[in-house]
Structure 1
Amino acid sequence: MQHVEGCDIVTTALAFDGDWTATVTGEPLDIAPRFDFRDFCVRVAPYADVEEWQRFLGETFGSRAWLWDIPDELCFDPGSRELAGAAFHLPGGDTDAEDAARVPAAPLVRPGGLRADEVRGFRLEVTTELCRAPGDTVLTCLRDLDVLDEPLEARIGIAPDVALLVQRGAVVGWSLTDPVRYLTCGFAAPDPAPPLPATRLLFTECLDLVTTSVFDGVRDREPAAVARLLALDHDLREQREDRCRVDAMSALIVDLVEDYGGR
């Protein structure tokens, strides 16, 4: 192991997919994440539309979408083998509050990049557990709940507010801090202004609706659940400020209203 100058972590090989490994470096990506709420996907990448995304995938290697297979993405430059971009999918349902409370506070996030140890593809499985911190200040996505039975070895901040979780030398999840700040539609850059308190409340209500048992009630068209959906749709429409973030949430909620709201 080797200390990285100017960085508080040490380089080490991280396992992602069997024998595929990457080395932690001192150079995280300087790209703000984009939280596409409709697709439940967090992207950290330079592309701004579908065509650029497809070109980006063709010019990099690593874990990426292929036909019907949609794993999480970690894409590397074939020349330098440095991390060039990432995309993570949030699990559809959240973990119960008791388990979410077990997510450890330590260790703290330390910035670091990734360099692939060899130029070849691998597959990064999507996570299965969504753990929400109080107030949804942090969203932590884990491989499985067994991760919570042991301490974390490291949190490696590969981009602003985006960290990989490491346990026993393997990546076992990822986290997004202050997710409301990065809400956006599609591949658009998020609003650089800080989110309003009202937007944060709406964000929590949206997550409550789409990641808990309330969503089952919506799909079953239970009156109370549908009423909650329609009330949320109304509140999103009525908020006049912070529209970029509100529109990002509305993109999904409007779809649900059309499917289950009786309109």
Structure 2
Amino acid sequence: MRLTLDGDWTVTTTDEPLRSIPRFDFPGQCVRIAEYADVEAWQRFLGETFGSQEWLWDAPDELRFDRAGRELVGAGFRLPYECAAAEDSARVPVTPAVRPGGLRADEARDFRLDVATELCRATGDTELTCLRDVDVLDEPLEARIGIAPDVALLVQHKTVVGWSLTDPVRYLTTGFAAPDPASPSPAVRSLFSECLDLVTRPLLDEVQARDPAAVALLRAADEALRAQREDRRRADALLSLIGNLVEDYANR
């Protein structure tokens, strides 16, 4: 299948998805799929590949391809700050099923992959679906290409219109660190949903306006994360961002 990513820039699907485990950098609000483990390795990786990447003040999503074979070798997706309305999230289709696959660029040149603008949250945040816009929900999806474990590109009219991450709590981390291989604890799963409420609109706007009720929720999440004894690595990943919000909006 040939897919359009940016205007006239196209890729062809393959049978080889990425093997890398996703890393959900919660303080950075992005999902990375690649083997690099620090900033220096990431910069080398960018220099050795082509595709969509950050440049100065422009921060699109990343899809990076090997220069020799033009195969997809890494990806990075930014989480939207805007949560879709509950009724829109309920319209996210469950079909078609995810089909594992990779991508091969049809030509070796850079392009720009726009970030998603709408975050649709499944019940219990068992899946996050990030869409180009909510109009995508007005028509069925054509395909879901599983480019990595639990990560899929959403296709409509042979154009990539979004992406999804299944079981996002499992992949929580900070920066470029690998996520904890152990299963998430029930307590951290619950705290994840509370934290995601706080770092996305509309509740984020209330936090930034220092609304007393929103600030109380922020402080409660901060205290619960600090008191969490199990699953500390994931709790610390959540705390990295929640703690910053407390410093900025709840300590004055």
TM normalised by structure 1 equals: 0.95
Residue of 217, 223, 231 corresponding to 1:242: 231
What are the superposed Cα offsets for residues 117-163 of structure 1, whole Å, 9 maximum, x if unpaired? 11011100000000000000000000011100100000000000000
**Comparing 206-215 with 32-41, which one deviates more in the overlay?**
206-215
Aligned residues with identical type, % of pairs:
71
Residue of 11, 15, 21 corresponding to 1:22: 11
Give the deviation of 1:229 after TM superposition.
Answer: 0.6
Q: Which residue of 1 aligns with 2:130?
A: 141
Q: Which amino acid aligns with 2:195?
A: C
Residue of 111, 119, 142 corresponding to 2:108: 119
Q: Which residue of 1 aligns with 2:203?
A: 214
Q: Within 2, Cα distance between the matches of 1:110 and 1:75?
A: 20
1:65-214 equivalences under 5 Å are 65-214=54-203
Q: Which residue of 2 aligns with 1:35?
A: 24
Contact residue 93 and residue 210 of structure 1 kept, 8 A: no
Q: Which residue of 2 aligns with 1:233?
A: 222
Q: Within 2, Cα distance between the matches of 1:132 and 1:39?
A: 19
**Comparing 135-144 with 213-222, which one deviates more in the overlay?**
213-222
CA RMSD of aligned residues (A): 0.7
Structure 1: 5+ residue runs without aligned partners?
Answer: 1-11
Aligned residues: 252
Give the deviation of 1:217 after TM superposition.
Answer: 1.7
Q: Within 2, Cα distance between the matches of 1:47 and 1:164?
A: 22
Q: Within 2, Cα distance between the matches of 1:50 and 1:125?
A: 23
Moved over 2 A (4+): none
Q: Are 1:47 and 2:36 counterparts?
A: yes
Give the deviation of 1:69 after TM superposition.
Answer: 1.0
Give the deviation of 1:214 after TM superposition.
Answer: 2.2
TM normalised by structure 2 equals: 0.99
Q: Within 1, Cα distance between the matches of 2:111 and 2:212?
A: 45
Contact residue 207 and residue 215 of structure 2 kept, 8 A: yes
Give the deviation of 1:31 after TM superposition.
Answer: 0.4
Q: Within 1, Cα distance between the matches of 2:21 and 2:88?
A: 29
Q: Which amino acid aligns with 2:24?
A: F
Q: Are 1:223 and 2:212 counterparts?
A: yes
Q: Which amino acid aligns with 1:120?
A: R
